[in-house]
Amino acid sequence: MENNKKPAARARLTDPQLSRRIGNELFNGVVTAAVMSEKRRPGLWQDMLRAADRGAARTKEGTIDAFFFQAMVDRLLEEFHTEDK
């Protein structure tokens, strides 16, 4: 039986469009998980939010999105450069 299919078209490699938007759900989840991993004390939520603000202020963009995006990139690169043992 003869195969009359055309060869598959070559895939074009392009850079993906980057989005640095961190949704409210992710932000809320990260802050909640961070708070839950700490010993409970009065003012913990406010202190965690202040820490997020400090981190945001240290980014070039000055946004929480940039802060969380860079944190995720840093963690991914850390894992990438860790040798499998």
Using one digit for the tens of pLDDT, what is the confidence trace for 9-55?
777 777 777 777 888 899 999 999 999 999 999 999 999 999 999 99
pLDDT, tens digit, for every residue of 57-76? 999 999 999 999 999 999 99
Question: Is residue 4 over pLDDT 70?
Answer: no
CB-based contacts of 60: which residues, under 8 Å, 6+ apart?
Answer: 66
Q: What is the pLDDT of residue 53?
A: 96
Q: What gap in Å lies between CA 32 and CA 82, rounded to an integer?
A: 28
Question: Is residue 85 over pLDDT 70?
Answer: no
Closest alpha carbon to 55 in 71, 38, 76, 43: 71
